[in-house]
Amino acid sequence: MAFVVHEASVSILEESEDTLQLWIESAPKDLSTEIDLHIVDDEEEILQGGRIVAVEFKDVEEISQTVPAIATVEKWKYELTEYEDPEDWPRD
């Protein structure tokens, strides 16, 4: 499962090499850990993302389906290797 949020509705509170701590303006009340988070731009391209490892809700009101939240996200690790010659491609 993934939770997609637009960059305009999140603020990065703290960032390290491995994690992000975000303020999410409008998070679903059932948002939990073990969900992938995708922060997208106007073209719906993923700008940042990872696995949610902690969620703390703020100002919870029973009549609203969404609430502000602070989420801690373990960032995805990418490693890109460019090969100029197909002969150099790794073999399975």
pLDDT of residue 79: 65
Just give the CATH number of 2-88. Answer: 2.40.30
pLDDT in tens, 55-91: 999 876 667 888 999 999 999 876 667 777 877 777 7
pLDDT of residue 82: 77
What DSSP line would sit under 7-57, residue for residue?
A: GGGEEEEEE-SSEEEEEEEEEETT--TT-EEEEE-TT--EEEEEEEEEEEE
pLDDT in tens, 5-39: 999 999 999 999 999 999 999 999 889 999 999 99
